[in-house]
Amino acid sequence: MAFLGGARLLDWASSPRHLQFNRFVLTGYRPVSSGSGCLRSLFYLHNELGNIYTHGIPLLGFLFVLPLTIPWARLSESWLGVVHYLACIFPQLGSVLYHLFMNHEGGPAVYHTLLTLDMCGVCMVNTLGALPIIYCTLACSPLLRSIALLAYTGLSSYGIFCAVTARSSVRRLRAFAWQALFRFFFFYLRWVGLGTGNPASLHSYLIMDGLAFLGGVINISRVPERWKPGCFDYWFNSHQIMHVLVVVSILYLHWGVVADLHWIANYACPKE
C-alpha cells in the first residue's frame, strides 16, 4: 500500500475485484469510498486521475465553447445543432462519472451502472454524431434521408444493447462495427459524388473515425503498460492515450459537422 495525498492506495491484488480489469497497472488503486471520498480523489494522485482529467477538462471546454461555434441562426433544422452538441458532450460526461465514482462503496452494482452510463456515452457519439452527416449527405433526397436516419437509429439501438451487455473490451469495440460500416457507406457516397455536403468535411470525418478506431485498439491491447507493467500506472497508459485520441476525434467530428452546417445553410438543391 502507498499513501498519497488523502487516501491509502492499494496495489492490484488488494484492490476490489471489479476494479481488477487491467493486470498491467500494478499500483495506485483507490480504496472503496463514499461519494464524497470519490470526489476528494480529484485532488490527489491515483491511477484514475489521468483518466478523469483527460475527459473532464475537455468536457468543460466543450460545454461552453462548442455552442458558440455552431451556426444556430442559419439552421433551418435546429435539431441538427442540438444532436451534434449532445454527441460531443455525452461521451466525456459518462467517462468522467465512471472513472470518478468507480470505487464507490456501492460495489459491483454501482460500478456496472457507471460502466453502462459510460458505454451509453460512447454510443451517443456514434449515434447522434452521425445524424447530421447522414442528413447533409442526402440533403436533396428527403425520402431516402428519412429512411437512412431511421435505419441508422435502429441499428444504433442494437449497438447500444450489444455494448452495454458486452463482457469484454473487444466485444464492446465490435459492437460499434456496424455503425462504422454504415457511416463509411455515406462517406463513400460523398467520395464518388453521389452524396452532398461540404467537400472539406469528408477529410475530417475520415480522420475522426481513424483516431477513434486507433484509440479502441490501443485500449484493448493494453499498450504500453503491457510492455513494462507498473511503469505506466499513473500516466501515459493505454486508457489515457485512448482518451486523448477520443477527444481529438470528437474535435474532428465537430469541425466536419460545423462545415456541413454552414454548407447546408447556403446550399440549394438543383431543380429537376
Binding residues for Zn(2+): 99, 239, 243
- Per the annotation, binding residues are 99, 239, 243
The vertex-168 CA angle with 213 and 248, nearest 5°, equals: 25
What one-character-per-residue DSSP string does 224-236 give?
TTTTSTTTTSSSS
Q: Please tell me whether the peptide bond between 31 and the residue prior to it is cis, using omega within 30 degrees of 0.
A: no
How many residues make up the chain in this entry?
272
Quote the CA–CA distance of 158 and 225 in Å, as a whole number.
Answer: 33
Quote the CA–CA distance of 59 and 42 in Å, as a whole number.
Answer: 15
Helices 201-221 and 177-191, interaxial angle, to 10°?
Answer: 150
- If we measure between CA atoms, which residue out of 109, 88, 98 comes closest to residue 208? 88
Quote the CA–CA distance of 132 and 116 in Å, as a whole number.
Answer: 25
